[in-house]
Amino acid sequence: MLRKAVCLAFVVLVLAGCAKKENNQVVIYSTSEDYRIEYFQNMLDEKFPGYDVTIEYYSTGNLAAKLKAEGTQTYCDIVGELEAGYAEGLLDNFASLSAFDSSIFLDALVPAHKKYFPFYLNFGCVVLNKDVLAKRNLPAPRSYQDLLKPEYRGLLSMPNPKSSGTGYFFLKNLVNTMGEEAAFAYFDGFAENVLQFTSSGSGPINALIQGEAGIGLGMTAQAVVQMNQGAPLSITYFEEGSPYTLYVTGIIKGKEERKAVREVFEFYMDAVSREDKRLYVPDQIFKDQVNMIPNYPFGIKIADMRGIENLAEKERLLSKWKY
């Protein structure tokens, strides 16, 4: 009898330990670059030593597709960053964030439904590898039309709009400024010169750093990080200005009931995000935020991004993309 009681007690303790571990596990799906994810992970590990917090990377398009397929029965607890247009199409997946303080953010960036909060503004630019262009005795391009010149063949890199929010905002900007037919005709010519349409927004900067590409349509913040580390890059803008989109963070519906998820999310949306603005993407999302990063271009003309958050329009345009 005593032996049975000991065995039963052991089983109860084991089950209790397993339940505790499960309740303390928090999974975050992120679209950020590896160096940002590493920094976020270190902050979370230091803040929550008793929790098992894991950040998993997915490209923007792949993350949106994964969340759409899995619904609320996903391993994901917190969506670290997702392009707002995709998030709008997945509102049924997201929990209400009304219990959290949204007053810290710029009012214009907080949607009325409060299913997500802003995490960062992602701006784009044309990035040049000065050494690659100098080696080939090529001038810096001054317009999108210049990129169609034969001397730049094999030197261009751009994220694929079907998998990258960065790629899509370049496409959407040119659709808005050139007209849809002219924009797609333009990318037919662009494709003749492209080295690669990369799967993620980080791809063009990586190709530039490795000297494989000379010109990339990429993320301003990522280019600045590499410039500040000594990479031979420079940033330029064409007449159309800097395209952009908003990336947002939220909780999967049903997961907000867990204490660990609520605590991690509150820290992520505030403390982690503020560090991200201080170090990497300084454009303002918080009311009291003032950040300056060396070489980061402020006061740049903002591109025409009408309809960037319209998911139906996005899906229609992407259905026409053939590269």
User: For residue 158, which of 121, 122, 123, 190 has the smallest C-alpha distance?
Assistant: 190
Sketch out the chain's domains with CATH numbers. 2-121+246-279 (3.40.190.10), 122-244+298-320 (3.40.190.10)
Q: Who contacts 19 (Cβ-Cβ below 8 Å, separation ≥6)? A: none
pLDDT at 100: 98
Per-residue pLDDT tens over the stretch 190-244: 999 999 999 988 999 999 999 999 999 999 999 999 999 999 999 999 999 999 9
CA angle 40, 44, 47 (to 5 degrees): 140
Element housing 188 (H / E): helix 180-193
Q: What's this model's pTM, rounded to 2 decimal places?
A: 0.84
Whole-number Å distance between alpha carbons of 256 and 76: 12
- Phi, psi (rounded to 5 degrees) for 120: -165, 155
List alpha helices for 71-179, DSSP H: 84-88, 130-135, 165-178
Per-residue pLDDT tens over the stretch 129-178: 999 999 999 999 999 999 999 999 999 999 999 999 999 999 999 999 99
Question: What confidence score (pLDDT) does residue 11 get?
Answer: 42
Determine the average pLDDT of the residues in 106-112. Answer: 96
SS3 assignment, position 149: coil
